[in-house]
């Protein structure tokens, strides 16, 4: 799975959680929750869905590493490649 494929998975899941948002407007260092107005439950659902799609479980201890698009992509890439 490439980094671009991971980005597409993330964007699709974000659209499911926050249909009114455009995740493609996210910058790599922007806080996903704040930028897209996603509550903590939505963020948790996003991480669970990403884990189910990619096979990479993100433990709660690592949530602080995946709150930006760049951080999330780096985290997933590191665990998949």
Q: Which pLDDT value is given to residue 18?
A: 95
Residue pLDDT tens, the chain, 81 long: 899 999 999 999 999 999 999 999 999 999 999 999 999 999 999 999 999 999 999 999 999 999 999 999 999 999 998
Q: Are 10 and 23 in contact (CB under 8 A)?
A: yes
Q: Which pLDDT value is given to residue 81?
A: 83
Query: Could you give all domains of the chain from N- to C-terminal order, each with its CATH number?
Result: 3-80 (1.10.1200.10)
What is the pTM (predicted TM-score) of this model?
A: 0.94
CA-to-CA distance for 78 and 68, rounded, in angstroms?
Answer: 15
Which one-letter DSSP state was computed for residue 12? H
């Amino acid at each position: 799975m490439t980094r671009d494929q991971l980005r597409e998975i993330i964007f699709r899941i974000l659209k499911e959680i926050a249909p009114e948002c455009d995740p493609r407007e996210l910058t790599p260092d922007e806080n996903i929750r704040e930028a897209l107005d996603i509550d903590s439950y939505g963020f948790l659902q996003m991480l669970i869905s990403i884990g189910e799609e990619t096979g990479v479980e993100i433990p709660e201890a690592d949530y602080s590493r995946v709150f930006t698009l760049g951080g999330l992509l780096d985290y997933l890439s590191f665990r998949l490649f």
